[in-house]
Structure 1
Amino acid sequence: MPAAVTRAARAYVRWVDRLSDYVGIVAMYLIFLMIGILLLDAIWNNVIGFPIHWGIEATQFALAAYYFMGGAMTLKNNDHVRMDLFYDRLSVRGKAKVDLVTMVCLLFYLGVMLFGSISSLQYAIETNERRFSMWNPSMIPIKALMAACIVLMILQTVSLVFKHIATLRESKAP
C-alpha cells in the first residue's frame, strides 16, 4: 500500500478517535446534568410544592443524548458487550478477522439506522414535531443529535476497520 494512503489512514484514525473521545467525555458529564435536573425536580415538587413539568422529560432527553454520544467512544475503547464463547481463544490475527466481519455487519446496521434517523429528522422538521406533553418540546434537536452521533459511530467503525487491517498486515509481516 502506498505510503500516502497509510499516512492518510493514520491521520483519519487519529482524528476520529480524538473526536470520539471529546464527544464521549461531554456525554459522561451529562450524568451530572441529569442528576441536577432530577434533584431540582424533587426539591421543587416535594419541598416547595410546585411541580416542574419539564424535569422528567428533560432528563429523558439528556439520557438519550448520553446514549447517543457515548456510542463512538464505547466502540473506540472496545467497551461494548461481546459474547465471546470462542473469541478469547483466537490469536490476535484471528480476532482481527472476526472483528472485520463484525464491522461489516455493524456498518450495515448503522447505515440502516442512519437512513431511519435522517427520515425521522426530516419528518420532525417538516411537521415541526413536538412531544405531546405539558412542556411540549421540539423533537428536532434530539433527532438531529441522534443522526449526528450515528454518523460519528460510522466514522469510528471505519477507523476500527483501518486498525484491524493494520493488525492483520503487522501480524503477517516477518
Structure 2
Amino acid sequence: MTALRAFSHCIDAISEAVGLGLRWVALLLIALGVVNVFGRYLGAQIGFQLSSNALLEAQTQAFAVLFLLGASDLLRQDGHIRVDIVHSHLSARARGWIDLIGGLLVVIPFSLVMLVFGLDYVERSWSRLEVSPNPGGLPLYPIKTLILVGFTLLLLQGLSQVIKAASWLRGET
C-alpha cells in the first residue's frame, strides 16, 4: 500500500499544481470579461465596435479551461457538491466508505466514459482543424483537447481519492 500512497501523493501534487496555475486563467477570464463589457458599452457610446467574437470566445474558452482542468483539484480538496447535510452526520468511517464507493462507482467510471466518448469527438475536431463558425472566431480543436486532459486528470484524482480512502479505512494514515 505504500507504493500506492506514494502514487496518490504524486497525483495530488499534479492536481494542486494545475489548480495553482488556473489562478492565472481565472485572472485572464476576469480581464476578458471586463474588456468585453467596456468594449460593448463604450463602443456603443462612441459608435465604434470595440469588442469582437474572438474576445467573447476567448472568455468562454477560459471558463472551459477552468471548468475542465479545475475539477481534479476541486476533488482533491473535497470541494465537490454533495449532500453535506447527510454526510456531516455520518461517522468518519461511514464517510470513508462513501468516498471509497463513490470513487469506484461514480468518479472513475464517469471519467472513463467521458474519455471514451471524448476521444472520437476530439479526433474529428483535430482532423478538420475545427474553427468557430462565428466571424473572427477562434480555433476549437485546442480547447476540445482539454476534454481529454481534464477527464484524465479527474480519473487520476479519482484513483488517488480511492487509494486514500482505502488506506484510511485500513487504518493506515
Aligned twin of 1:51? 50
Q: How does 1:1-174 map to 2 (within 5 A)?
A: 6-45=1-40, 46=42, 49-53=48-52, 54-104=54-104, 105-170=106-171
Letter in 1 for 2:49: F
For the aligned residue pairs, the C-alpha RMSD in angstroms reads 1.7
Q: Which runs of 5+ in 1 are unaligned?
A: 1-5
CA offset digits 1:12-60 (Å, max 9, x no partner): 1111111101111112221210122233334444157333311111000
Identity among equivalent positions (%) equals: 24
Flag the structure with more relative contact order, 1 or 2, with Cα contacts below 8 A and sequence separation at least 6. Answer: 2
| Number of residue pairs matched by the alignment | 166
- Residue number in structure 2 paired with 1:3: none
Residues 41 and 84 of structure 1: is their aligned pair in 2 closer, same or farther, counting only changes over 3 Å?
closer
Matched residues in 2 for 1:21 and 1:86: separation? 28
| Aligned partner of residue 86 in structure 1, secondary structure | helix
Unaligned segments of structure 2, at least 5 residues: none
Q: What is the Cα deviation at residue 153 of structure 1?
A: 0.6
Asked whether the equivalents of residues 33 and 62 of structure 1 are also in contact (C-alpha less than 8 Å), the reply is yes
2-side partners of 1:136 and 1:55: how far apart? Answer: 9
* Offset from partner CA, 1:91-140 (integer Å, 9 cap, x none): 22111111111112221111111112212111101222221101232211
Query: Within 1, Cα distance between the matches of 2:132 and 2:101?
Result: 39
Indicate the SS of the match to 2:171.
helix
> In terms of mean alpha carbon deviation, does 158-167 or 24-33 score higher?
24-33
TM-score for the superposition, normalised by structure 1: 0.87
Letter in structure 2 aligned against 1:8: A
Q: How does the TM-score come out when normalised to structure 2? A: 0.88
